[in-house]
Structure 1
Amino acid sequence: MSYEPHQSPPPSGADQDRTWAMLAHLGGILAYVWAGWIPALVIWLVHRDKGGPAATEARVALNFQLTVLIGLVICRVVQSIPVIGVVGWLGIIALSIISLVLSILAALAVQRGGSYRYPFSLELVR
């Protein structure tokens, strides 16, 4: 009796696009360390000329993460003000949690084959 391992077929182009799109959204997990926009930017730069769902979802994720980054910078400025500094600190925590949750929801939606639009996002990258 011989055992021949079952070889899985290589992932198709659509599966790879969906995986890259999911990774672009999951980059938002890094928002607390101010690096959430980097994975989305790299994936968008690589896939923007090819088009497809990876480029579209990476652009959406990049716009959201840049919006979060602007919010984090504003909160950091508010945090440096002596009397209301705690508001800035709470804002940083809130934005980080919002980015974490929405990034995971977006990644799950894309993994299921759909697309995701964040509830708030500046259209900075077109």
Structure 2
Amino acid sequence: MTISVTQSQQRRPAPAQAAPMLTREEDTRWAMLSHFGAVAGCIPALIIYLIFRDRGPFTAQESKEALNFTLPLTVVMLICYGLAFVPAIAAFAGLGGVLIWAYMAISGLIGGSECNKGRPYRYPLNLRLIR
């Protein structure tokens, strides 16, 4: 006894579909949010860059810019907060961490407002680690 399986009975996985491109409004919105995310450090810009870099050119450009700006500052800020537990330098390290966060947050808000107008934003002091 043999069992024949026709081609229509075989289960084949559906081919992976590429994610749809962002509309101009969505592209601008995600680019803006990547800059506004500087208030929370580098994680929001990283997530937006990884998810949307292939779906919108403006989002890819601006999230990369925001990530390049926030990544080194987040690392330095976390080091300052860690050094705040050393009694001899606690006040200076804690103040340094707060000042770095304030600079990062204000710069991110400026960048986000520029992106909301549809204009690209370049941070004045940026290492551009990710090309």
TM-score (norm 2): 0.76
Aligned 8 A contact 2:27 2:56 in 1: no
Off by >6 Å, runs of 4+ in structure 1 = none
Unaligned runs of 5+ in 2: 1-21
Correspondence 1:25 to 2:30: no
Residues in 2 aligned to 1:51 and 1:101: alpha-carbon distance in whole angstroms: 25
Structure number with greater Rg is: 2
AA of the residue aligned to 1:43: I
Paired residue for 1:103, among 108, 111, 114? Answer: 108
Q: Verify: 1:70 aligned to 2:72, yes or no.
A: no
CA drift at 1:74? 2.5
1:84 CA displacement? 1.6
Q: Is the counterpart of residue 61 in structure 1 residue 66 in structure 2? A: yes
Partner residue in 2 for 1:4: none
Structure 1 unaligned blocks of 5 or more = 1-11, 31-35
User: Where does 1:1-126 land on structure 2 (aligned, <5 Å)?
Assistant: 13-30=23-40, 36-126=41-131
Aligned equivalents of 2:25, 2:121: Cα separation in 1: 17
Identity of aligned residues (%): 35
Distance in 2 separating the partners of 1:51 and 1:110: 14
Distance 1:47 1:90 in 2: 35
Distance 1:38 1:45 in 2: 11
- TM-superposed CA distance for 1:119, in Å, is 2.0
Q: What does residue 10 of structure 2 align with?
A: none
Asked if structure 2 preserves the Cα contact closer than 8 Å seen for 1:67 and 1:121, the reply is no
Q: Partners in 1 of 2:32 and 2:26 — Cα distance?
A: 10
Report the TM-score, using the length of structure 1 for normalisation. 0.79
